Chain A
């Protein structure tokens, strides 16, 4: 277990270095580019296998206990230790990260985004994976910060080098926003470290904030919360997200939405809740309020983009929908109840699966039509994907319906539990306020359903199968048949579809893991 977990973090890093070296003879393949892309698939596949082995070896009877721990002193001068470990909260995120990165590597093997050499591309993806996995696996505040920062540089280059239109500005905005947040976060982490006497998350969590004065907790929560909220992203700190998603290459968007955003919400659950409970208690209603505004705002923005003539970009639309979905996650956390937080963690995973799938699909549509502009795409009546590429259309409809929270699919449980949590928030939190939040969040789900259905209506339906549907006016969306789902695409997407259904039908598999861990983080036992 111990070695497995350490290897999970180290293997992608080594893989990144290896990707930059020339391929050894015998593994060269037809073309050096192909060799390095295959290298990426191999390494991410290996990491996925490692995480699955971790999941199998995980002692499900005690998901609240840290497992597979490594604890080595690294910088005694600062009391920083290489402390790794997983529990029921981090294990699903670890597997999700490994899965999505593997699928991205697989997808790029067949469909490399346009840009400079694939060598750097693969290396960056692997560094990104290492950073993300590390931030879910480390149990030291400073290491968490280090891992949190590690992902920035690769993501910046992925957007700025392999992205679409206006990529440099978007990448720049992404990195500046996140850095601003994370410097503030570093101050908060140091404050906790200095006042609490250790950077060890487990030791600090066991104290449950008893060693920190109320004012220290307030400042720490404000500082760390700001950094995490930028990443999550919480309204009004979200404005980097739509640009970054629109400009990023498909796999960049998938990873950004699928795993990078989760680092923010994970930090809330892992660091703030157990270490500074008093501070969180004070700020929870504000967090909930911002979260609900985010839900409504994200949905309204999507509606505006989805309507006819709104010049909406599909990628941008899904990015805004992420703001809404992450709003549910934050609302769940802000209830400070086991129900709400379990819901938040569930919604985290569900969002990773569904939005990852959506970005894949939209990327595929963009590749086929040369645009992701909704108006150009749908023309006068609709893009008629059902007719022209039935499987692609069907998958898009499936993902959209999953995203709007249809019961029986993954999107439902997280949001339902988050709202249930705010129906009965933790003691000391104003119940009327939370009831209002719940009502508004419920309204948000309606709006989500509205824009998702509009998108299905405009992209999947329309036309009548004949040529003269108005599509001919738009060269990018000619009325002729569109290539349907290819084999490699199917291979990359099927796991996501299957897991979405599985998580929807059998939520207990996930909740059984998270619940005991959440109970412990909240200091329940």
Chain B
């Protein structure tokens, strides 16, 4: 037996580590920075996220692993393969855009900035760790690191009853899901005697027949935890209230990074650990996907434009619907000969979705500065008041809907469709087509409202015209728009993940 000491590849684990270290720096610095210099903390946080993003560059080969067993199978707990890198890029990029959105929001709503940045970075660190995790224990720890700070972030608006209620709702349902998932993980451990994903996969092919039911139950219960994070129906009910109650950047963060976390976990456990039970989770995920998109889109359709917070509510429900599309390729992976190919569609779609959804939230944040109620009705005539923001939002919404000029949205949907058709899930493709049409209806209605003449008085419009757009918010909007436009011109940039095997 060789040495039990594992060597650590620090470069490989840099992305989550840098993020976590900067989180600690911010927390400590908060003690020493005087009140009027607090914006400095935001600068540190943004710089840290950029640094973490840059630390992905040396890893581009995608062949590093660390925390490996020194004997036997030499299975590793941390792997920086291409899949990991893409998801880490998504997570860190999403967190960066969120941070840019947050800068002005923190000063405006007087959120405690030290805590805010610490929590955001911690959550991002967990989310960046998760795609690299290759054993069930690391996976669960990463998931919790990503979630626990999020609860606090949601409830950060002190004295706001809705905010605390949202946090409580989010917390209770999330904790229940985690408990169920832990139970599932322990069942899987009991029946396979290992935690490493690849070894679980091997062991599950030859489970003792007496333990078969236990293993099946374990697989199903593990999925529940991730289904919750992705806000899949029937674990979606926390979404609208949480999004409305949380500070707007946090809602954006949850809708993109929170979802990415759920999907990555789901992909890792299903495709890497449980391929032997594809006949169990395949149909379950297919049904979940169909339900999720239908419920999400139907609810989004029913949002009345003049209700308070209807814009965020609509984005929340539509994100539930989008989660349904993201689930489709994972379900298809159960039927496909080459599951790595199918999940590439999910990753490509998630990248597209992250860019345009954060962009939409950025414009929503801009509008919320002048119309705090953030009703869809407030977007009427936005083009007359802020032509660029209106054009950007129109573009983001058309991307989400999948209509030209949002070419990338269309092609991302095409890859998801073809993953479903490829896997022989024709019925799912049809359900999705119906949903795409439902979604077109509400996205288009919102887009059309942007260009309608406004009904409000001239003074209100003039007042808004003079309000300056804060630089970080403008940067976030521009970044998202540039990404969306670049991807529309060269969809290959993300779609190549859908053709190459990622895992």
Contacts and interface: CB of A to CB of B under 8 A. Distances in A.
Interface of A: 74-78, 80, 116, 131, 142, 146, 149-150, 152-153, 156-157, 160-161, 172, 175-176, 179-180, 183-184, 186-187, 190-191, 193-194
B414 A190 contact: yes
Interface string B481-499: 0000000000110011111
A74 B496 CA distance: 11
Nearest to B404: A150
Contact of B433 (A76, A131, A156, A183): A183
A153 B398 contact: yes
A179 B437 contact: yes
Nearest to B491: A75
B404 A153 contact: yes
A77 B429 contact: no
B433 A184 contact: yes
A78 B404 contact: no
Contacts of A74: 491-492
Contacts of A156: 448
Interface stretch (B35-43, B315-323, B415-423): B415-423
A180 B433 CA distance: 9
A152 B417 contact: no
Contacts of B417: 186-187, 190
B496 A183 contact: no
B421 to A, nearest CB: 5
A335 to B, nearest CB: 31
Interface in B27-65: none
B410 interface: yes
Q: Closest 3 CB pairs between A and B?
A: A77-B499, A77-B495, A150-B404
B21 interface: no
Contact of B492 (A75, A142, A152): A75
B433 to A, nearest CB: 5
A156 B451 CA distance: 12
Contact of A194 (B418, B453, B499): B418
B418 A78 contact: yes
Given A152-B404, A160-B448, A179-B437, 20 more contacts: A75-B411, A75-B491, A76-B492, A77-B495, A77-B496, A77-B497, A78-B499, A131-B404, A152-B403, A156-B448, A161-B451, A176-B440, A176-B441, A180-B437, A183-B433, A184-B433, A187-B417, A190-B417, A194-B418, A194-B422
Nearest to A151: B404
Interface of B: 348, 398, 403-405, 407, 410-411, 414-415, 417-418, 421-422, 429-430, 433, 436-437, 440-441, 444, 448, 451, 453, 491-492, 495-499
Contacts of A172: 448
A78 B437 contact: no
Contacts of B453: 116
Contacts of B404: 131, 146, 149-150, 152-153
Contact of B403 (A80, A149, A161, A191): A149
A187 B430 contact: yes
Contacts, number: 79
A160 to B, nearest CB: 7
A75 B495 contact: yes
9 contacts: A80-B411, A150-B404, A150-B405, A153-B405, A184-B433, A186-B417, A186-B433, A187-B430, A194-B422
Contacts of A184: 433
Contacts of A190: 414, 417-418, 421, 429
Contact of A183 (B437, B451, B495, B498): B437
A207 B499 CA distance: 25
Nearest to B398: A153
B494 to A, nearest CB: 9
Contacts of A180: 437
B417 to A, nearest CB: 5
A117 to B, nearest CB: 10
B499 A76 contact: yes
A78 B414 contact: yes
A402 to B, nearest CB: 35
Contacts of B495: 75, 77-78
A142 B414 CA distance: 9
A273 to B, nearest CB: 23
B195 to A, nearest CB: 35
A184 B441 CA distance: 15
B415 to A, nearest CB: 7
A77 B433 contact: no
Contacts of A183: 433, 436-437, 440
Contacts of B415: 77-78
Nearest to A194: B421
Nearest to A160: B448
A77 B404 CA distance: 19
A153 B414 CA distance: 19
A519 to B, nearest CB: 33
Contact of A76 (B403, B436, B496, B497): B496
B421 A191 contact: yes
B422 to A, nearest CB: 6
Given A191-B421, A194-B422, A175 B444 contact: yes
A436 to B, nearest CB: 35
A152 B404 CA distance: 9
Nearest to A142: B414
A184 B432 CA distance: 11
A156 B450 CA distance: 14
B440 A179 contact: yes
B414 A186 contact: yes
Contacts of A149: 403-404, 410
Of the candidates A74, A77, A157, A186, the one having the most CB atoms from chain B within 10 angstroms of its own CB is A77
A116 B381 CA distance: 12
A231 B191 CA distance: 58
A152 B406 CA distance: 13
A177 to B, nearest CB: 11
Contacts of B444: 175
Given A75-B411, A76-B499, A78-B414, A187 B403 contact: no
A193 B429 CA distance: 15
A187 B433 contact: yes
A20 B436 CA distance: 31
Contacts of B441: 176
A160 B449 CA distance: 11
A196 B421 CA distance: 13
A172 B404 CA distance: 17
A77 B492 contact: yes
B433 A193 contact: no
Nearest to B345: A77
A193 B418 contact: yes
A180 B430 CA distance: 12
B429 A187 contact: yes
Of the candidates B404, B436, B491, B495, the one having the most CB atoms from chain A within 10 angstroms of its own CB is B404
B131 to A, nearest CB: 21
Nearest to B498: A77
Contacts of B436: 183
A146 B407 contact: yes
Contacts of A160: 448
A146 B404 CA distance: 7
A514 B411 CA distance: 33
Nearest to B430: A187
A76 B496 CA distance: 7
